[in-house]
Amino acid sequence: MEIYGILALLSLAFLLGGFVKGATGYGMPLVATPILLISFTLPQVVLIMVPAIFFSNLVQGFQTRQCWRILKIFWPMVAANCLILLFFGGRILTMVDASLLTLFVGVMMVIHAGLSLAPPIGVVERMTSAISIRKIILPSGILSGLLGSITTIYGFPSLQVIVAAKCSKEECAFLFSIFLASGHLALWRGMVLNDYSDPAMLQWGLVGCVPMFFALLAGRIVHKKLSVQGFRKAVNLVLLLAGLGLVLKSL
């Protein structure tokens, strides 16, 4: 693809992903990944997303830093996810066939979006009503790391558990930022440990940060003025269709 085509693709991916991130607090990789997969492999997409995920979550974490004490409860989830992504995710991404990885991503997107479109976090809420939230913090981090190792989508089910734990809006935003930024950095580091490095992809990622920051600002305006729940449903419907498209593309 010519440079102008790449710039257009990056702009589209990061504008849409940044807008969703600003409006809901998460979801940028879910939105940007299927767009970037049009021209890049999944390992390349992971590298492209490194700067955007780090900087966007750094800003979000700084804005909600007063909630840092919540990490005393959820740190096992963050640590388990990072360790698994570091030691297994990087190896799997650099060894497994690209079409199979695309299939895994599509299936994971369908599951993630489908559960989000169901009665809000219903499955996880019913689990946490019967089980102490502290008992599923570590298992959810482990499961997120395992799923993220083959799909790069490591938010499920940990983000759902955080929401179901009835944390405040600010606490959720802080935990999301720490969990997502640390997880992606661990995945990237795992790829480097397995001798996969492509500086050009990181440079493209830095270019994508420019439209992303403008989109984040626009998303924050939407966050303040519109129904976030309604917006999330619309986004998850799009993600469901995009996931199905990736599944069909890989077959």
pLDDT surpasses 70 at 49: yes
Bigger pLDDT: 102 vs 176: 176
Predicted confidence at residue 229, as pLDDT, reads 67
Burial 107-137 (b: 16+ CB within 10 A, else e): bbbbbbbebbeeeebeebbebbeeeebeebb
Please report which confidence band the pLDDT of residue 221 belongs to, taking 50, 70 and 90 as the band edges: confident
pLDDT surpasses 80 at 215: yes
User: Ranked by mean pLDDT, which of 90-94, 175-179, 222-226 comes out on top?
Assistant: 175-179
Residue 138 to residue 143: CA distance in whole angstroms: 9
169-183, pLDDT tens digit by residue? 788 889 989 999 999
Phi, psi of 186 (to 5 degrees): -65, -40
Q: Which residues contact 74 (CB under 8 A, 6 or more apart)?
A: 137, 162, 175, 179
Angle CA 161–164–166, to nearest 5: 125
Predicted confidence at residue 115, as pLDDT, reads 72
| Cβ atoms 183, 148 nearer than 8 A | yes
184-197, pLDDT tens digit by residue? 999 999 988 888 88
| Cβ atoms 21, 27 nearer than 8 A | yes
Predicted confidence at residue 251, as pLDDT, reads 67
Residue boundaries of the structural domains of the chain: 3-250
Residue 120 DSSP label? T
